[in-house]
Amino acid sequence: MTEVRMHEVALVPERTLGSPADGGPLHGRLTFGWDLLPADHEGAPPEWRSYADATPGREFRRLLMVCSFRPETPTGRGTFRHASLGVALSTPDPGARPVARLIDPGERTRPVAVSGTGLNLTVKAGVLDVGVTRAPGAEPTREEWIVRGHGASQPNPQWEFRQVKRFPLVGDHPVSALVEIVPDRVNTAEVLFAAELEHRNWGIRRYRAHLAPPPHTIMLSE
């Protein structure tokens, strides 16, 4: 297992028409951490090692990142509704870019109760009979995504996070990418973050932040 060191991140509000004049950055609501690991490191999805073993001669790194969303506080108002984490992989050579061959998760879900009841339609002697059914002893549920990844086999993977019924957007959310790096180049990853928070008085506001130590990049190779 690996231990990811987390760092506080300030969320800077986007200036829009009607936004409060004194709306400064939010502190204490988001922490972010990352680690760079071998492709076969303990805890990586098992298919990642198989992928790396099947492509000898290529060099891979597992970029592990954790976003930790914190609940509303008296000095940090608003509840997280939606957030996105984007990674831009690059080298100084514009013709050679690292690629996130595999990402995790592609989708992470939670069971959410389905409102309403089932509808049963039958026809008897030419008469339509409408009936209502309900699962006995249990409320019906369906799987709703809370984290969704995009950009496999691309140099700019992205993950979305959202709240769903009974599952607020709080706590630790790890994501990772199996990055094929460009040999003999300095490979970097720039990490950007955007979020929507809902305020009781201001409504929905958007925030942005750079999520990496200065100068806002993660060194994948040197």
Q: What is the pLDDT of residue 161?
A: 98
Distances from the Cα of 176 to the Cα of 37, 69, 183, angstroms: 10, 17, 21
What percent of the residues of the chain are helix, what percent strand, and what percent coil, each to the nearest 5?
A: 5, 55, 40
Buried b or exposed e, range 68-89, using 16+ CB within 10 angstroms: bbeebeeebbbbbbbbbbbbbb
Cβ–Cβ under 8 Å, residues 66 and 174: yes
List the chain residues with pLDDT less than 70. 1-2, 16-23, 115-139, 214-215
Which neighbouring-strand residues pair with 123?
128
Question: Residue 25: is the preceding peptide bond cis (ω within 30°)?
Answer: no
Dihedral (C-alpha) 174, 177, 181, 186: value to the nearest 10 degrees? -30
Q: What is the pLDDT of residue 147?
A: 97
Q: What is the pLDDT of residue 45?
A: 85
Cβ–Cβ under 8 Å, residues 33 and 66: yes
The residues, any chain, with a CB within 8 Å of residue 30's CB and separated by 6 or more, are: 8, 9, 11, 67, 68, 69, 70, 193, 195, 209
The residues, any chain, with a CB within 8 Å of residue 9's CB and separated by 6 or more, are: 30, 31, 32, 193, 209, 211
Distance in angstroms (rounded) separating the CA atoms of residues 211 and 191? 5
Residue-range domains of the chain with CATH = 6-108+146-219 (2.60.40.1170)
Q: What is the pLDDT of residue 132?
A: 47
Q: What is the pLDDT of residue 212?
A: 74
How does pLDDT run across 195-217, given as a tens digit for each residue?
999 988 778 999 999 887 766 78
